[in-house]
Structure 1
Amino acid sequence: MTSALARSAGFCSRFGLRLPILLAPMAGACPPALSIAVANAGGMGACGALLMQPAAILAWAAELRAATNGPFNLNLWIPDPPPRRDPAHEAALRRFLGGWGPEVPPEAADAAPPDFAAQCEALLEAAPAAVSSIMGLFPAPFVERLKARGITWMATVSTVAEARAAEAAGADILVAQGAEAGGHRGSFDAGTAEAGMVGLLALVPAVVDAVRLPVVATGGIADARGVAAALALGASAVQIGTGFLRAPEARIAPAWADALAATPPEGTRVSRVFSGRAGRSIATAYVAAATAPDAPPPAPYPVQRGLTGPMRELGTKGNDIDRIQAWAGQSAALARAEPAGEIARAVWDGARRLLA
């Protein structure tokens, strides 16, 4: 246990942190206020920049820096290959989704993420303490530019094989994502995301033993016990997402925040019905209907994300949990409706007592 505390102290020293708690970079659910609160408490803030244009990324970083000197992480998805399009299948999905929200126009399926190369340039210009990748590895030329500017690369991995590949590609830190995690699975291969799900209890020590890099544990960690367990297994820090979503600074829909408190581990489900990529959410009525045998299967990412956009927008505006993209990890019920800074300090104080 002494070595666990020493490891976490070394990680904190590297980034000027007071506690080894990192906010998960949750695209669409990480306003600057949430990162500011976590950073001011002594942890690391984060932004899931997947859907953000370069100017928005820079504006996010500027707003954070105006309120805190704490470090932060900017995260990007590695782009998938262009999706295969099937107009007949997309028409069936539009009809199905029309029963859950407004009529879905055909052009909704044409939704595309922002230009990845331009986003990478914005990350370099923003110059955060760290950038993180998910769904694969950054291209070698970009990694070289990160290292030249002294920016740490944290690579999200979900298997030992991915961990070894990330280390070989030049990652500085590995974020080991257990199957319990809410939101999208970080698998390098979209097609095998569900088949390759490994629980955090098995993943962390296996990754720690397989590589020489510091490991950050994430997935199903929402209280002091989870933090202490992850550090005892060999992690140097933890990353928490769902555990911060009920904080007022997260600003999620009240129906989503309330549902988290009542969601047991078995009340979540991994599916592709929101975006076309595998992700863990609350098992709402929509998720049940969209995964039923008679429902049209999801389109690939990002087509499915575009098609579900009208429904998700309606759900958020109407505070309707059955239409909200309600991502949730398996420890959702442990999330506390308290200020994010208090949550961060409390989980670390408790973990330190357990490890002492």
Structure 2
Amino acid sequence: MIRTLFDISTALIQAPMAGVQDAVLAASVCEAGGLGSLPCAMLSKIQLIEQLELLSRSTSKPYNLNFFCHSTLQYTKLQKQQWHLTLAPYFNEYAIAESSLADEASRQPINQSIIDIIAPYKPAVVSFHFGLPAPFLLEQIKSWGASVISTATTIEEAKWLVDNGADAVIAQGLEAGGHRGHFLSMDLSLHKSTAELVQECVAQLVVPVIAAGGIATEDDVAHMQALGAAGVQVGSAYLLCNEANTSAIHRNAILSQQKDNTALTTLFSGRAARGICNRAMKELGSMPLHVPPFPYASIAITALRSRAEALGDSGFSPLWCGQKYIPREHMSAAQITQTLMQKWLV
């Protein structure tokens, strides 16, 4: 069903992965018949235009642009003081002065100026994390014929998305790497496995359900189809592909990780996300006290990350990765797409 909705030949969406990919990877998936995705939430306006130009030149097939639509909360002076006090030993270790830290985080929610930039390109699909944008923005996106999809972590969120204009829902299970897409409640105990959530959504929604989380093999894909999913969204499988921009430090962490060595953490951004456990998560806890609201936690952590990575150390890096991972080195994104979908029954 999503093949018809998105005008693609294979029912796979490449998950948008900020920091480890650009338009090149997305275009490769598009050319292989899937829906390639460009993560846009951390791009400046100039970068967004550059990436849109590259993507448009690289493929004539439908693609997906992904944005955040979180509410930006206030970052108080007290919150900053408490967070910096927590990180003070590391600031001392890496000789980082608090006065050198940036004032603003790079993750921004979609707004009218972004709509004005992307409208001339008329992307076939626009996806969202953390709910949906304001109705007047959604109306503009749909006016050029785009399909709108968003992530749900509970059946309540899935129903909310459908009621508020989503054409399909991404059912994100607990196994998924990177940021959780929850927006109605911050209670992580409400989240379920991909299989459980997919079955609930398939039974209760009238729109296509796209399975996301823990999908690493062609058998995983076939299993999600058997549960009623109209398609799958896959991210971690592409982390080591030829087109990925995954850093050497991140790649090494993926290849050397032990089984069951991922955890949900708020440490790196202020919102829960799944990544490989490292020094910061072990010493501070995966969900430390006094972590600032999303996305402000990333300001100080990014400074530590930069200093540590310069020394070849991944101890303060957000090593996003799904709970189930099969290393796929030296393969193109197109090859991975075709491999994963070879048991999908047309």
Matches within 5 A, 1:1-356: 10-85=1-76, 86=78, 87-98=80-91, 101-106=94-99, 108=101, 110-112=103-105, 113-114=107-108, 116-117=110-111, 118-189=113-184, 191-192=186-187, 194-264=188-258, 266-291=260-285, 297-332=290-325, 334-337=326-329, 338-349=331-342, 351-352=343-344, 355=345
Q: Is the 8 A contact 1:104 1:310 kept in 2?
A: no
Q: CA deviation at 1:311?
A: 1.9
Q: 1:153 to 1:104 in 2, by over 3 A?
A: farther
Structure 1 window deviating more from structure 2 (131-140 vs 119-128): it is 119-128
Question: Where in structure 1 are there 5+ consecutive unaligned residues?
Answer: 1-9
Q: 1:302 to 1:284 in 2, by over 3 A?
A: same
Q: CA deviation at 1:298?
A: 1.8
Q: 1:190 to 1:312 in 2, by over 3 A?
A: farther
Structure 1: which amino acid aligns with 2:337? A
Q: 1:121 to 1:15 in 2, by over 3 A?
A: same
Identity %: 26
Q: Deviation digits for residues 42-61 of structure 1, max 9, x if unmatched?
A: 11111111111223222211
Which structure has greater helix proportion? 1
Q: 1:301 to 1:115 in 2, by over 3 A?
A: closer
Q: CA deviation at 1:168?
A: 0.5
1-structure distance, mates of 2:93, 2:156: 39
Q: CA deviation at 1:286?
A: 1.8
Q: CA deviation at 1:139?
A: 1.0
1-structure distance, mates of 2:323, 2:205: 27
Structure 1: which amino acid aligns with 2:164? A
Q: CA deviation at 1:342?
A: 0.9
Structure 1 window deviating more from structure 2 (167-176 vs 305-314): it is 305-314
Q: CA deviation at 1:283?
A: 0.7
Q: Is the 8 A contact 1:43 1:70 kept in 2?
A: no
Q: Deviation digits for residues 33-82 of structure 1, max 9, x if unmatched?
A: 21122111111111111111223222211101211122211111112242
Q: 1:195 to 1:96 in 2, by over 3 A?
A: farther
Q: CA deviation at 1:157?
A: 0.8
Q: Is the 8 A contact 1:266 1:330 kept in 2?
A: yes
SS of the residue corresponding to residue 301 of structure 1 reads coil
Normalising by structure 2, we get a TM-score of: 0.91
RMSD (CA atoms): 2.2
Q: Is the 8 A contact 1:264 1:330 kept in 2?
A: no
2-structure distance, mates of 1:272, 1:233: 31
Q: 1:310 to 1:342 in 2, by over 3 A?
A: same
Q: Is the 8 A contact 2:19 2:246 kept in 1?
A: no
How many residue pairs align between the two structures?
341
Structure 2: which amino acid aligns with 1:214? P
Q: Is the 8 A contact 2:194 2:212 kept in 1?
A: yes
SS of the residue corresponding to residue 276 of structure 1 reads coil
Structure 1: which amino acid aligns with 2:59? T
2-structure distance, mates of 1:292, 1:143: 35
Q: 1:35 to 1:210 in 2, by over 3 A?
A: same
Q: Deviation digits for residues 247-269 of structure 1, max 9, x if unmatched?
A: 12112112312322343552001
Structure 2: which amino acid aligns with 1:287? M
2-structure distance, mates of 1:65, 1:170: 26
Question: Where in structure 2 are there 5+ consecutive unaligned residues?
Answer: none
Q: CA deviation at 1:289?
A: 1.1
Q: Is the 8 A contact 1:249 1:340 kept in 2?
A: yes
Structure 1: which amino acid aligns with 2:135? A
Q: Is the 8 A contact 2:73 2:293 kept in 1?
A: no
Q: Is the 8 A contact 2:22 2:39 kept in 1?
A: no
Q: CA deviation at 1:317?
A: 4.2
Q: 1:91 to 1:124 in 2, by over 3 A?
A: same
